[in-house]
Amino acid sequence: MSLAIGDAAPDFTLTNQFGEDVTLSSFKGKKNVVIVFIPFAFTGTCTGELCALRDDLSAFQNENAELLAISCDSMFTQKVFATQENYNFPVLSDFWPHGEVAEAYGVFNAERGCAVRGTFIIDKEGVLSWQVINGLGDARNIGDYKAALAAL
């Protein structure tokens, strides 16, 4: 399944690195949401991308925006990863049913058992307003989705 700009974003509830449920629709009417799918915790490119977001967090997590990182790693892996890298934003586990949310967003790579690098901006009404999907090894430019978020 692939999503198009203007589609309603598939809702989900996933567990963050602290074992707490995070539901996409809970931000509806309150905040725009930046969803960043990463293939695997602790890999060079994924760590670099999330560290870049961490280092510019005020652009992605503030009174108008929420940042959600998602991978198919377990909640326990996410906790160690987030703690080690000092991520002060939700790092969500799409572990079981394995890759279900990544599949709903059209970014699940079944052969590898992980998400590819998809970034989605969901507006305050729950509608997909921007997206970019890169391959497993292709790093994203956070400036692109920073600009897209600022345009909302």
Residue 6: left (phi > 0), alpha (psi -120 to 50), or beta?
left
**Is 51 considered catalytic here?**
no
Among residues 46, 51, 72, 114, the one annotated as catalytic is: 46
CA separation for the pair 18, 49 (Å, rounded)? 21
CA angle 145, 2, 11 (to 5 degrees): 75
> Helix or strand or coil: residue 90?
coil
Question: Three-class SS string for 38-67?
Answer: CCCCCCHHHHHHHHHHHHCHHHCCCCCEEE
Q: Could you give the residue numbers annotated as active site?
A: 46
